Amino acid sequence: MSPDRPLGVFDSGVGGLSVLAELRRALPGEDFLYLADTAHVPYGARTDEDIRDLTARAVAALHARGAKGVVVACNTASAFSLTHLRERYGSGEGPFPVIGLVPAVKPAVAATRSGVVGVLATPGTLRGSLLQDVIRQWAEPAGVRVLTAVSADLVPLVESGRAESDEARAVLREVLTPLRDAGADQLVLGCTHYPFLAGSVRAEFGETFALVDSGAAVARHTRNVLCGAGLLREGGAGGSVTYLVTGDPERARPVITTLVGGAGQNTQVMQVST
Ligand code: DGL
């Protein structure tokens, strides 16, 4: 497999763009194929089987388009699919690396002063085993209490370009107030859509919580995996991103353009089926 091929990045929608930004910083020589399954977002309220099936189709579509590996930039998809995908495509060091996400409980546990960490996630991620695994691995031995908050409304708000709206603030106020009242000083953003809500969280809660996400850590890990697999591309022109969506590209284009900070640019968005 040639290192010159693009790296696939997948999310149920536009949330993975928060991870893509970190990947582009850490891997400036890479070209990227970003696939948003906008015809089926949100995944968070779907069944386990549905999430697994949609994720498998999306990863297969990236593989078929020549990606050299995939970053599953979605906590919900990772929670239900990583084992299956790795069985199918090989492990992180295999011929087609599949890299996933877990909520950033580890750094939040290391940073908390109050001993209470909040996790904001989709219903799917809360149900999946990956979150429970990291709580058992990092929070329990340190005696840190983890409180979870869930909402099925936040992903659709980000998808429709309303991350900075009164509606988003109202939802955040409702779901995060109990965490603040319980003394949480760290808020793990357990969904890749949520870094785009940082402004709204700050507007409601000021500096109450340090916001912690996994974007930078997964980008560093991806670099190591590509390096280990002989797939790292350095020195080339690199840096291009092809945006693929399964839903209406005209609907997705303005939201993608805003979230990648490309106001005024003509972002190319292509429709694909998975
Ligand atoms: N960005 C996805 C995540 O990290 C959102 C899941 C959804 O579509 O509900 O979980």
User: How high is the mean pLDDT in each 10-residue block of the chain (274 residues)?
Assistant: 92 97 95 96 92 96 95 95 88 76 96 98 91 96 97 95 96 98 98 97 97 96 94 82 95 93 80 92
Best probe residue, ligand 1, of 46, 74, 157 (max atoms within 8 Å of C-beta): 74
Quote the pLDDT of residue 44: 87
**How far does residue 132's CA lie from ligand 1's centre (Å)?**
17
**Domains observed in the chain:** 7-101+215-271 (3.40.50.1860), 105-212 (3.40.50.1860)
Q: How far is the CA of 2 from the centre of ligand 1 (A)?
A: 30
Q: Is residue 214 lining ligand 1, measured as CB closer than 6 Å?
A: no
Mutation test residue for ligand 1: of 9, 10, 12, the one with most atoms within 8 Å of CB = 12
Residue 72, ligand 1, Cβ within 6 A: no
Q: What is the pLDDT of residue 116?
A: 98
Predicted structure pTM score: 0.94
Task: Write the pLDDT tens digit of every residue in 59-82.
Answer: 999 999 999 999 999 999 999 999
3-state secondary structure the chain: CCCCCCEEEEECCCCCHHHHHHHHHHCCCCCEEEEECCCCCCCCCCCHHHHHHHHHHHHHHHHHCCCCCEEECCHHHHHHHHHHHHHHHCCCCCCCCEECCCCCHHHHHHHCCCCEEEEEECHHHHHCHHHHHHHHHHHHHHCCEEEEEECCCHHHHHHCCCCCCHHHHHHHHHHHHHHHHCCCCEEEECCCCHHHHHHHHHHHHCCCCEEECCHHHHHHHHHHHHHHCCCCCCCCCCCCEEEEECCCHHHHHHHHHHHCCCCCCCCCEEECCC
The answer to whether the CB of 193 is under 6 A from ligand 1 is yes
Active site residues per annotation: 74, 191
With a 6 Å cutoff on the Cβ, whether 42 touches ligand 1 is yes
pLDDT at 24: 95
